[in-house]
């Protein structure tokens, strides 16, 4: 067995529940930090930003798995579902922080969703994530059939792009880091163009 | 000439526990508290205990040192503030380079406990020491036809790493109308909690205009110019739709990307409630300056 094959075999052996468990602890850890002063003197915004960063990183990782396998041979595909569901969980925590701790009222939430373009875009990403997350199981693949399921999950591409645009727009000036994320997302999406073409070539 | 204005907030070095416990409730019961007159002085003082030294010096917007809130504290240590001099020029009788110590020796230093409302919808209460800008302007002898005052921050990329990135048009510049500059509320702050101003808060000398969003209160000033036209201001140049020349705190005029109706007082922890933002940040005494002006268009 080559080294890559051995690594891939090891990766495959990691149980999914362990990944779910370990990744789900991170927001709890941040919550603990926010409660105890570890996220600075303004923990609400600190938590919101920390969770937004986590969500963005998880989404980039999801997008990177296929090209990564192509380029390096490393195969994270067995855990793609877990990482995707975790990304959804991070976005959910980020959204809940915003709703419950930050804006604090349904009226203000609604006002922001309709009036603030970066919130509108973040919310659009979240809404699109819902059907993708809900159908991240074998039963849904069977029910929908592989083709419809595959196409539904291509929404991930749109979600990641919206997430990165949201990140760029949140800033008061053109900051480098969000632009780097946006560039990475667009680069990873560019690798999908051939497969998207094939999918919809009829 | 100083001491033309009396604090309506008070400072206690140690906050008694019951007051501390009550602070959230008091704040939640309405931003109107600080409006003063209607309330006994004690009540508003209790409701608005100053933020701690740690809060005031570790949560800053000072993009010259980075865009993160803790970047200024981390990166500002290397800034040399001695020697320091301020160029006062333009329409004044005595233009020139004024050494910071000479300015200090001629000014009457007093404490001003002010609310500070950031354009990002958070706020603090800060016990500044400083002097009225009017006194400094008087010292330089303003010419009668000067209508505006322009300010400029130090430009020193070796010590201010943020200036190596073109995120804003450096150096940072700000401006006030003459009547705003001469208002007794407008001060040059040189100290905080009876200590010299820390670098991350704008050492050695910064403007404080408490009824305007924080970005108007330009830090680490090296130049003050009296002019007869409205000077350019950095955030207005960066986003004219989002940041105007006036930038008066106004809950009724939203920033295009977020609401200005409420604010979060720093120091309340993870579950602190938003409080209503007050017009002119509660400093009603400046309302007369804007009589007849449309605050919606002059944001
Ligand atoms: C795919 C979904 C999303 C992603 C990837 C995402 C990611 C991010 C990132 C990376 C940041 C900035 C973090 C930083 O500056 O360090 C951020 C900030 C923020 N996001 Fe999201 N976000 C998403 C959805 C949402 C949703 C649904 C909402 C609310 C409806 C939301 C509200 C916010 C807010 C309020 C901020 C902070 C703005 C501030 O600095 O005050 N986001 N988000």
A115-126 pLDDT, tens per residue?
889 999 999 999
User: Residue B13's pLDDT is what?
Assistant: 43
Q: Is B247 helix (H, G, I), strand (E, B) or coil?
A: coil
User: Residue A202's pLDDT is what?
Assistant: 66
pLDDT of B42 > 60? The answer is no
B223-277 pLDDT, tens per residue?
999 999 999 999 999 999 889 999 999 999 988 888 899 999 999 899 999 999 9
CA B51 to chain CA centroid, Å, is 15
User: Residue B48's pLDDT is what?
Assistant: 66
Tokens found for residue B271: 């579950």
Cβ atoms A129, A91 nearer than 8 A: yes
Q: How is domain B11-24+34-290 classified at the architecture level of CATH?
A: Alpha-Beta Complex (3.90)
- What is the least distance, in Å, from the CA of A89 to any CA of chain B? 20
A128-159 pLDDT, tens per residue?
999 999 999 999 999 999 999 999 999 999 99
| Residue B111 DSSP class | E
* Sequence spans of domains, chain B: 11-24+34-290
Q: Do B59 and A40 touch (CB under 8 A)?
A: yes
User: Residue B25's pLDDT is what?
Assistant: 34
**Percent of residues, chain B, with pLDDT higher than 70:** 85
A4-52 pLDDT, tens per residue?
899 999 999 999 999 999 999 999 999 999 999 999 999 999 999 999 9
Cβ atoms B146, B119 nearer than 8 A: no
What's the mean pLDDT in A161-184? Answer: 94
Q: Do A111 and B259 touch (CB under 8 A)?
A: yes
User: Residue A172's pLDDT is what?
Assistant: 83
| Helix segments in B208-249, DSSP class H | 234-238
Quote the pTM value. 0.86
Atom 32 of ligand 1 has which residue's CA nearest to it?
A119
ipTM: 0.84
User: Residue A173's pLDDT is what?
Assistant: 85
A70-125 pLDDT, tens per residue?
999 999 999 999 999 999 999 999 999 999 999 999 999 999 999 889 999 999 99
CB-nearest to A108 from B59, B259, B272 is: B259
Chain B CB contacts of A44 below 8 Å: 264, 270, 272
Q: Is B185 helix (H, G, I), strand (E, B) or coil?
A: coil
Tokens found for residue B238: 């960066």
Q: Do A35 and B273 touch (CB under 8 A)?
A: no
């Amino acid at each position: 067995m080559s080294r890559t094959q051995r690594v891939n075999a090891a990766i495959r052996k990691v149980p999914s529940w362990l990944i779910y468990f370990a990744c789900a602890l991170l927001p709890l850890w941040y919550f603990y930090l926010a409660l105890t002063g570890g996220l600075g003197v303004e923990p609400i915004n600190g938590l919101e930003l920390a969770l937004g960063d986590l969500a963005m990183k998880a989404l980039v990782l999801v997008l990177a798995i296929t090209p990564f396998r192509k380029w390096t041979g490393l195969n994270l595909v067995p855990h793609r579902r877990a990482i995707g569901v975790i990304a959804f969980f991070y976005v959910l925590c980020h959204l809940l922080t915003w709703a419950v701790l930050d804006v604090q009222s349904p009226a203000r939430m609604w006002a922001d969703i309709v009036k603030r373009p970066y919130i509108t875009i973040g919310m659009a990403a979240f809404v699109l994530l819902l059907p993708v997350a809900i159908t991240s199981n074998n039963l849904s693949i069977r029910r929908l059939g592989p083709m419809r399921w595959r196409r539904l999950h291509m929404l991930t591409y749109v979600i990641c792009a919206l997430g990165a645009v949201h990140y760029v727009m949140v800033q008061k000036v053109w900051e480098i880091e969000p632009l780097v994320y946006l560039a990475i997302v667009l680069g990873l999406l560019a690798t999908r163009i051939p497969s998207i073409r094939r999918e919809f070539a009829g | 000439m100083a001491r033309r204005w009396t604090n309506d907030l008070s400072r206690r070095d140690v906050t008694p526990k019951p007051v501390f416990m009550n602070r959230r409730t008091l704040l939640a019961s309405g931003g109107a508290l600080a409006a003063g007159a209607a309330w006994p002085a004690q009540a508003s003082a209790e409701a608005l205990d100053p933020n701690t030294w740690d809060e005031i010096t570790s949560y800053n917007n000072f993009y010259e040192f980075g865009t993160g809130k803790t970047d200024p504290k981390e990166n500002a240590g290397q800034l040399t503030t001695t020697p320091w001099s301020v160029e006062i020029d333009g329409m004044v009788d005595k233009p020139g380079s004024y050494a910071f110590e000479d300015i200090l020796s001629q000014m009457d230093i007093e404490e001003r406990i002010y609310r500070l409302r950031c354009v990002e919808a958070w706020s603090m209460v800060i016990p500044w020491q400083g002097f009225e800008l009017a006194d400094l302007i008087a010292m330089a002898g303003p010419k009668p036809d000067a209508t505006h005052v322009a300010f400029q921050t130090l430009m020193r990329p070796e010590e201010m790493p943020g200036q190596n990135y073109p995120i804003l048009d450096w150096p940072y510049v700000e401006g006030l109308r003459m009547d705003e500059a001469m208002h007794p509320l407008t001060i040059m702050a040189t100290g905080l909690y009876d200590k010299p101003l820390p670098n991350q808060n704008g050492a050695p000398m910064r403007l404080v205009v408490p009824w305007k969003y924080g970005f108007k209160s330009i830090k680490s000033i090296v130049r003050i110019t009296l002019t007869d036209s409205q000077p350019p201001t950095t955030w207005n140049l960066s986003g004219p739709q989002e940041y105007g020349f006036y930038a008066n705190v106004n809950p009724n005029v939203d920033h295009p990307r977020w609401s200005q109706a409420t604010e979060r007082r720093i120091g309340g922890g993870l579950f602190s409630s938003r409080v209503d933002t007050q017009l002119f940040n509660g400093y009603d005494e400046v309302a007369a300056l804007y009589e007849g002006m449309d605050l919606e268009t002059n944001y």
